[in-house]
Amino acid sequence: DAGVIQSPRHEVTEMGQEVTLRCKPISGHDYLFWYRQTMMRGLELLIYFNNNVPIDDSGMPEDRFSAKMPNASFSTLKIQPSEPRDSAVYFCASSHPTGPQHFGDGTRLSIL
Partner 1 sequence: KQEVTQIPAALSVPEGENLVLNCSFTDSAIYNLQWFRQDPGKGLTSLLLIQSSQREQTSGRLNASLDKSSGRSTLYIAASQPGDSATYLCAVITGANNLFFGTGTRLTVIP
Q: Under the rule (CB under 8 A), what is the footprint of partner 1?
A: 4, 31, 33, 42-45, 48, 50, 55-56, 91, 93, 95, 97-106, 108
Q: How far is the CB of 104 from partner 1 (least distance, A)?
A: 5
Closer to partner 1 by CB, 68 or 108: give it.
108
* One-letter identity of residue 8: P
Q: Give the C-alpha separation, 109 to 13, whole Å.
A: 8
Q: How far is the CB of 76 from partner 1 (least distance, A)?
A: 18
- Region of 79 please: left (phi>0), alpha (psi -120 to 50) or beta: beta
Q: Residues 71, 52, 57, 5: is their CA dihedral positive or negative? A: negative
Closer to partner 1 by CB, 4 or 19: give it.
4
Count of alpha carbons within 13 Å of 103, Cβ hemisphere only? Answer: 12
Across the strands, what pairs with 92? Answer: 34
Closer to partner 1 by CB, 35 or 65: give it.
35
Q: How far is the CB of 91 from partner 1 (least distance, A)?
A: 6
Q: How far is the CB of 11 from partner 1 (least distance, A)?
A: 14
Closer to partner 1 by CB, 15 or 55: give it.
55
Q: Give the C-alpha separation, 39 to 64, whole Å.
A: 21
